[in-house]
Amino acid sequence: MGTTRRRFIAITAAAGGLPLLPCARSAPATPLLRIWTGSALGADATLQIHHPDPATADRLIAASLAEVERLERILSLYRADSALCRLNRDGVLLDPPFDLVRVLSESRRYGAISGGAFDVTVQPLWDLYAKYFSRPEAAPGGPPSGAIAATIARVDQGALEIDPARLRLARPGMGVTLNGIGQGYVTDRVVEVLRGAGVEHALVDMGETRALGAHPDGGSWSVGLEDPRAPGKIVERIPLVDRAVATSGGYGAVFDAGGNFNHIFEPWSGRTSWRWLSVSIEADTATEADALSTAFTVMPPEATAPVVRALGLVAHFVRPDGSRLVQRA
């Protein structure tokens, strides 16, 4: 996926809080629990699989990573041969892969749920800000309003035509990014690989985190939310059983040396947002948690509360001053 959002989620291997091994591959943590750590989609990644046969667990890890590689060939914004890059380059993609059609359809649904706050066609805004601040003479105030207005005209999820036989960008200069949903989608697909193989207890983190079943000790998996202003400091622990959690925030990537312009855009204004320092969402799937944590970063609490209630979410907000807000269904 290229540049990914910086995530402040710390995973612990057991309800009691056993830290993950930082650099181990398939290292045993507890009896029958195999742990792999590495990278996927440009982010730190972790798999924890409970299985009575270590060799089988290792094969399941290999199958999971093969699925990640397959999906990256479809969804990556930074691989010239990916299906997504071909869509952005040509403006049309015939016979698109099922996974791309599916994730774009889900993106449109979350766009509707969020009142337009989630929009995968904001890629032209990312390009605008990145190009602008790459110039030595860039003014600290950011791109001129005229350039932003011209770019917003190419941001419209409704102009992305989605059909199983064809994907089409209806306006010249449009572009799609899946950085706000792709990692969650890949996490969910890995969970399905493991579930299909009969795994009952696993924790998958391919950029976002989802638990398959409970921890094998009978308790929940423990996921710690870190303070975005003090990495390494856990401010809250979330118990997960058959649920997912994802975090988004503008701290993940900034365009300027002063750190005033980040990669979280308001689709309607073209401006970057610092409404919330970070947003973490607990949901049934990592796809949903990923998309809505992205959307909620540009939404006021009175707009997020009905979505939280309707979808059975838990939303954790951190304000720029460090104060916190939690909304529950």
Residues making up the annotated binding site for Mg(2+) are 180, 290, 294
Residues comprising the binding site? 180, 290, 294
Give how far Cα 114 sits from Cα of 161, 179, 266, 305, Å: 19, 17, 12, 11
- The amino acid at 289: A
Strand order in the sheet with 221-227: 9-12, 221-227, 230-240
What distance in Å separates the CA atoms of residue 27 and residue 149, rounded to the nearest whole number?
Answer: 52
What distance in Å separates the CA atoms of residue 33 and residue 45, rounded to the nearest whole number?
Answer: 16
DSSP 18-39: PBPPSS-SSEEEETTEEEEEEE
**103 contact partners, CB below 8 Å, separation of at least 6:** 75, 178, 181, 182, 185, 287
Cα–chain-centroid distance for residue 129?
21
Q: Counting beta carbons within 10 angstroms of the beta carbon of residue 135, is it exposed (0 to 12), middle (13 to 18) or buried (19 or more)? A: exposed
- The amino acid at 152: I
In 72-174, the DSSP E strands lie at: 92-94, 160-163, 166-169
- The amino acid at 326: V
Find tokens 């969910």 and name the residue: 188
